[in-house]
Structure 1
């Protein structure tokens, strides 16, 4: 696929065809890793577990002084066994 870098506002962008994105299983809004390898631009999809976040990323955001506590969810609402 031949395309060109274009200016959009104060940024530059690269348009990729829908077919090319489908071939590599990338959709609009997906997170990708963009890197340089031997003078080439490499775009790799970032695979996430359970949607768009991964466990390591979530754990990194927990404050160091966080102390978990208990939460009362109220009485059973169905046939739950407590």
Structure 2
């Protein structure tokens, strides 16, 4: 696939076809990493976890003697079934 560098305002950019984006599993709005290696550009999606933390990291921070306990959240407020 050949593309042309184009000017958009004070920036330059390239357009990528829907097929190329589908093959690379890139969606509109995804964050991309662009790196230059010698005379090549490498563009790849940044794969982030959905939240700020990984569950494995959070569980690893629990103290060894942690005991699960039941909490009372009060009476139902809406249509909850208890």
User: Shorter-normalised TM-score: what interval?
Assistant: 0.5 to 0.7
Question: How many pairs does the alignment contain?
Answer: 62
Normalised to the residue count of structure 1, the TM-score between the two structures is: 0.63
Gaps of 5+ in 1: 57-72
RMSD between aligned residues: 2.2
2-structure distance, mates of 1:41, 1:21: 16
- C-alpha distance after superposition, 1:32-73 (max 9, x if no partner): 0000012200101101112xx5438xxxxxxxxxxxxxxxx8
The residue number in structure 1 matching 2:46 is 46
Gaps of 5+ in 2: 55-72
CA shift for structure 1 position 76: 4.3
1-structure distance, mates of 2:81, 2:34: 50
Runs of 4 or more, structure 1, over 4 Å off, are: 73-76
Larger Rg: 2
